[in-house]
Amino acid sequence: MDPALLREREAFKKRALSNPVVEKKKEATEPPKKKPKSSSQSKQPKDFNYKTYGGSSQYNFGILAKIVKHMKQRHLNGDTYPLTLEEILDETNQLDVGTRQRAWLINEALANNPKVQINADGKYLFKPPLNIKDRKSLLRLLDKHDQRGLGGITLDDVQESIPNVEKALKVLGDNIIQIVQPISKKKILFYNDRALLFSVDEEFQKLWRSVAVDGLDDEKIEEYLQKQGITSMQDIGVKKVTPVQKRKKPSNRNRNFKKLNQHMSDILQDYTDKN
């Protein structure tokens, strides 16, 4: 080997040994950060029901409808003693209702429902639309409505207030009149006051039905009666009273002027028109 190359090699080694070498340490790898759990992955309450989460409103009102229907049926069966919410849920087989639904029933649904009432002990009762218990109280209520001019009572309200309505109406017979409304088709019950029943001759009935007054005002009806020689209604109309015009009182200005200035009567002259 060339001695010159050997000398260069040895010189290179000496330079290399004189320069210290620092090895780079491997950077410590940080552990991967855990992703925060989304709200959907957070723990749900024990009473949370995934089946009812999507349509909670429909589920809640389904519970309420079942309760109101059961309370109404209890009332019609004669069970008028109050129940707690737990007893109602037990009788309607809804003990699996969650805490949220129970709070909604207590604070909103049952508290504001017109068909449910709460007594002093916080228990629940069905609230019928009419304060009646049997057919006798129904007849008294209809009589009171008739005397006060309050009109009739719908059959639907009666059916929600007392049991066996058809049997009660059958026993009452002609003491009650049933009329069907032309638009709503609802049946309306009226009291039939027998003291007002009287017979009208058939000839008068025909005359009554033959006279058509649809679309006629009072003046046209009065004109028609006058043409037929009937004047018994001519004094029934409202008389127009013409307001009486008050006469103006004469002014006392000149008179007062003279009284206040009597001490100057020989100087002052009266220029008022005496005509």
The predicted-structure confidence for 80-132, as pLDDT tens digits, reads as follows: 899 999 999 999 999 999 999 999 999 999 999 999 999 999 999 999 999 99
Percent of the chain whose predicted confidence (pLDDT) is above 90:
44
Whether the pTM exceeds 0.85: the reply is: no
| Residue 167 reports pLDDT greater than 90 | yes
Higher pLDDT, 242 or 120: 120
What is the residue-averaged pLDDT of the chain?
78
Domain 55-126 is found in CATH 1.10.10.10: yes
* Main-chain phi, psi angles of 35, to 5 degrees: -70, 135
- Which pLDDT score, from 0 to 100, does residue 47 have? 45
Per residue in 34-78, pLDDT (tens digit) is: 555 544 444 444 443 434 433 478 899 999 999 999 999 999 998
| Residue 199 reports pLDDT greater than 50 | yes
Both tokens of 228, joined, read: 């037929």
| Alpha-carbon span 32 to 11, nearest angstrom | 50
| Alpha-carbon span 202 to 8, nearest angstrom | 153
